[in-house]
Amino acid sequence: MTHPLIITAVRNQIGHIWLDRPTAYNAINLDSVRQLMAQLQQWEADDHIRAVVLRASGDKAFCAGGDIRELYDSHLQGTARKMQFFEEQYVLDQYIRAYRKPFIALAEGLVLGGGMGLFQGAAFRVITEKARLGMPETSIGYFPDVGGSYFLSRLAGALGNYLAVSGSIINADDGLYANLADYSVPAEKVAELDEQLDRLAWQEPAADCVRQLLEGLHVAPAAPGALEQARADIDLHFAHANMADIQQSLAGGTDWAQETLDLLRSRSPIAMVTALAMQERGRTLTMADCFAMELHVIAQWFDQGDFIEGVRALIVDKDKNPRWKYGTIEQVPKAAISAMLAGF
């Protein structure tokens, strides 16, 4: 029997699920995806359940993403498990987006990669001031997936391009500003949130009951955050449709621009070029087509991209010196990117 990777409880007709791998920052793998899917399907079919809350054990991470070490090992061993994980994870992410009952995601700590796939699909995206959100995939030779080509590409201005390419991780206030979260509840009031959920008097529609409760606990940012302060720079430099123009624009700019340029030079060139291309395409695609495009590229990426080298350098050997496939973005063949994206 598969070891339980989630904890569940039902109170006041609300199903609560905790991702329960705190020592692994609640990273998800194929087993946890299957356990989540089975539980959510059971509750969706149960007329007694009025809403669902997804959260995590501990306050260090809601979910730091997919278990990249398992994916690394699966590829080297030649097993099918890695693609099974991606395919079933994508089904779960889309299922959450279409869930027929109010779905609340409550996040503290890290919300990264695959964790963003779960979180962004929720009807009510709730964070505390401890939340840190991002799609840092380019730092490990990968690209934002789990719908990142859809939800990032629809952010205001050039925020999506910036977050996708740079892999920057933002704080709670910036998450609200970027529209990657809906409500912020102080960590000290999470217990009060639970108490109010336990006492909630259900009326129809149930979603209105949940919304009213969350609006009563929400605390808006007191002042502009770092992302808002950098917004003019972001829109100026990251509105370009190719990486060469972005880097040229950043060169000789403000201190923020120079720091960002230095950051980009640490990222995988092929990952950045691919991430930007997928943002540009994603803006015109449906959510389902964005997921299909990402899966199509994933099926090729382990052989053609930098993921294996990135995981080796940062997770396995920990030398923090990845030897990327291409030394600069200028060396990345445009034809290779076009070929990966063709025909999905």
**145 catalytically annotated:** yes
Q: What is the pLDDT of residue 205?
A: 95
List Cα–Cα distances, 316 to 80, 115, 284, in angstroms: 21, 21, 38
- Average predicted confidence (pLDDT) for the chain: 96
Q: What is the pLDDT of residue 284?
A: 96
Q: What is the pLDDT of residue 49?
A: 98
Q: Is the pLDDT of residue 204 over 90?
A: no
Q: Could you read off the pLDDT of 248-299 as tens digits, one per residue?
A: 999 988 999 999 999 999 999 999 999 999 999 999 999 999 999 999 999 9
Which of 15, 65, 113, 114 is an active site residue?
A: 114
Q: Is the pLDDT of residue 20 over 50?
A: yes
Backbone angles phi, psi at 184, to 5 degrees: -120, 120
Q: Is the pLDDT of residue 2 over 80?
A: no
List Cα–Cα distances, 337 to 82, 134, 154, 273, 331, in angstroms: 22, 24, 22, 8, 12
Structural domains in the chain plus CATH codes: 1-344 (3.90.226.10)
Residue 343 banded pLDDT, cuts 50, 70, 90: confident
SS (H, E, C) the chain: CCCCCEEEEEECCEEEEEECCHHHCCCECHHHHHHHHHHHHHHHCCCCCCEEEEEECCCCEEECCECHHHHHHHHHHCCCHHHHHHHHHHHHHHHHHCCCCCEEEEECCEEECHHHHHHHCCCEEEECCCCEEECCHHHHCCCCCCCHHHHCCCCCCCHHHHHHHHCCEEEHHHHHHCCCCCEECCHHHHHHHHHHHHHCCCCCCHHHHHHHHHHHHCCCCCCCCHHHHCHHHHHHHCCCCCHHHHHHHHCCCCHHHHHHHHHHCCCCHHHHHHHHHHHHHHCCCCHHHHHHHHHHHHHHHHHHCCHHHHHHHHHHCCCCCCCCCCCCHHHCCHHHHHHHHCCC
| pTM confidence score | 0.95
Which of 20, 108, 137, 182 is an active site residue?
A: 137
Q: Is-cis flag, bond preceding 269, omega within 30?
A: no
Which of 15, 20, 65, 66 is an active site residue?
A: 66
Alpha-carbon dihedral sign for residues 161, 167, 169, 172: positive
Residue 17 banded pLDDT, cuts 50, 70, 90: very high
Which of 145, 173, 174, 294 is an active site residue?
A: 145
CA-closest candidate to residue 324, choices 264, 280, 254 = 264
**66 catalytically annotated:** yes
Q: Is the pLDDT of residue 51 over 80?
A: yes
Residue 126 banded pLDDT, cuts 50, 70, 90: very high
Average pLDDT over residues 74-84: 92
Q: Is the pLDDT of residue 1 over 50?
A: no
Neighbour count for residue 276 (Cβ, 10 Å): 24
Q: Is the pLDDT of residue 209 over 90?
A: yes
* % of the chain exceeding 70 in pLDDT: 99
Q: Supply angle C-alpha 183, 173, 257, rounded to 5.
A: 145
Average pLDDT over residues 97-122: 98
Q: Could you read off the pLDDT of 317-334 as tens digits, one per residue?
A: 999 999 999 999 999 999
Residue 117 banded pLDDT, cuts 50, 70, 90: very high
Strand order in the sheet with 103-107: 6-11, 14-19, 51-56, 103-107, 124-127, 183-184
Residue 220 banded pLDDT, cuts 50, 70, 90: very high
Q: Cα separation of 207 and 211, whole Å?
A: 6
